[in-house]
A = this chain, B = another copy of it.
Amino acid sequence: MDATRLTERLAALAHPARLEIVLHLARTDGCGCGDVVDTLPLAQSTVSQHLKVLLEADLITHERKRPRSTYRLNRDALLAVSEHLNAIVDQCCVGACCGGKSNRLD
């Protein structure tokens, strides 16, 4: 995952509604757009847009089914973001620095 992809994913997560959607999908093993609409004080078109953003960032998956489609959290993608941030922390000037703290030497 390059820097551009990372910022795209971070941007996708950096919105209260979208973060809420991610949390909802994490709790409910996949649901449709309508289900998400019911949990948020937003119009259906707005939710659809948010889902699209998350989809383009590959943070969720989409399965077209009838009568309802299913959106699911892409755990791997979310985990990749988490680990990328972790890598930055680890990379942080090995040795005593950044406020005098040592690096994960446990």
Across the interface, A26 reaches (CB within 8 A) one of B73, B75, B88, namely B88
- Size bracket, chain A contacts: 35 or more
Is A68 located at the chain interface by the 8 A CB criterion?
Answer: no
Main secondary structure of the interface of A (DSSP, over half): helix
User: Which of A12-20, A33-41, A44-52 is the interface stretch?
Assistant: A12-20
Residue of B nearest to A84 (CB): B82
B10 and A16 contact, CB distance less than 8 A = no
Please report A residues at the B interface, Cβ cutoff 8 Å: 3-4, 6-7, 10-11, 13-16, 19-20, 22-23, 26-30, 61, 72-75, 78-79, 81-83, 85-86, 88-89, 91-93, 97-99, 101
